Amino acid sequence: MEPLLTIEKLSKTFNPGAHTEVRAVQDINLEVTAGEIILIMGPSGSGKTTLLTMIGGLLSPTSGKIWFENKELQNLSQRKLTLWRRENAGFVFQSFNLLTNLSALENVVIGGFDLKDRKKRAAGLLKRLMLEDRTNARPDNLSGGERQRVAIARALINDPKIILADEPTANLDKKIGHEVMDLLCSIGCEEEKGVIIVSHDERIKDIANRVLYIEDGKLVREEIGAHNKVCKMKKRKNEE
């Protein structure tokens, strides 16, 4: 299978040449296929969020290349890169980033671009994420797990090919965090979306196909995750 995403010798240096120079990411190589769940782990300051931000086209690398479906992202103008993000990438953040004066449904709807029936799709996503009875609730009246599921629905509204999640369980307890990640895992598998999660949360290692460890901006090792054993979607396919 052709990779959905390919990263070659990707690096990011802040303040290059100055005494405050920081090599946040150094010579990282990575391939991600459709339907694959990748977990990138490392302590605070290890470079994992910088790496995710570059993959999402929100930060330009100092050197190296990123290909998405054989399209080299660094060669795109800012306008085309913005369009690429709208059409291909869904972002999930630890702070949820929901608008407090809007309902759950409205928060999902406003994330959509160029969709004729965004409200219908948003309602369908919330139902799939078990929030059909919370569509009119505002973020202040939702639990942390519910808010993160709304954030996931918003990330999915444009039917992206890759989902990028930055510390998505940081504000959730163990049980709720794992339930939310199980849902994201199932969606990635069923709809064959690439999913990249950066976290230092050891509790979610079992949802990943691969677990990559980053230290001082470098990928230092890789482990096979337990995804195929625990993913409900994989289990259904195997039973069939």
- pLDDT tens digits, the chain, 240 residues: what are they? 789 999 999 999 999 888 888 999 999 999 999 999 999 999 888 999 999 999 999 999 999 999 999 899 988 899 999 999 989 999 998 888 899 999 999 999 987 776 668 888 999 999 989 999 999 999 999 999 999 999 999 999 999 999 999 999 888 888 888 888 888 888 898 899 999 999 988 888 989 999 999 999 999 999 998 887 777 655 555 544
> Is the CATH code 3.40.50.300 the one for domain 5-239?
yes
How many Cα atoms occupy the beta-carbon half-sphere of 21 within 13 Å? 8
Please give the DSSP secondary-structure letter assigned to residue 133.
Answer: G
Report the C-alpha gap between 135 and 228 in whole angstroms: 32
> Domain coordinates of the chain in residue numbers?
5-239
**Rounded Cα–Cα distance for residues 192 and 114 (Å):** 22
**210-215 and 71-72 as β-strands: parallel, antiparallel, unpaired?**
unpaired
pTM of the model: 0.91
Provide the strand spans (E) within 80-119.
89-93
